[in-house]
Amino acid sequence: MIGTIKTIIYPVKDLAKAKAFYQQLLGIEPTTDAPYYVGFKIGDLDIGLDPNGHNNGMTGPVSYWQVTNIKESLQQLLAAGAQTQHEAKDVGGGMLIATVLDADGNTIGLMQLPQ
């Protein structure tokens, strides 16, 4: 196994409405509440709302697998038949994310925490 699902990001068009909905659904307040991202923490799982997701090509929720070495993990998935959707990039504070498409076109996210 390459990693563990630690984050699920939902693309949203109206961040305020989405935040209200997920607060009701989850029964908790957000742990991160910014104009560019609202996040909720449930145990070890992060649920994120991304108001820029649709503009960045997200068509639905993306699960991010936490990995220790994103470049190595990407190579393993590409060797297994995945296609690169977005190369690894720093999204702030040294956190790296990347996405690939599996054989059926599903988006799989990878996330490497700052080291």
Q: Model pTM?
A: 0.87
**In what order do the strands lie in the sheet containing 107-112?**
32-34, 37-42, 45-50, 4-11, 62-66, 107-112, 96-101, 83-90
- Label residue 1 by pLDDT band (50, 70, 90): low
**Residue 27 structure tokens:** 């029964």
CATH topology for 4-112? Answer: 2,3-Dihydroxybiphenyl 1,2-Dioxygenase; domain 1 (3.10.180)
**CA distances, 36 to each of 71, 75, 91 (Å):** 26, 30, 12
Tens of pLDDT, residues 26-52: 999 999 999 999 999 999 999 999 999
pLDDT at 3 over 90: no
Extents of the domains making up the chain: 4-112
Tens of pLDDT, residues 59-95: 899 999 999 999 999 999 999 999 999 999 999 999 9
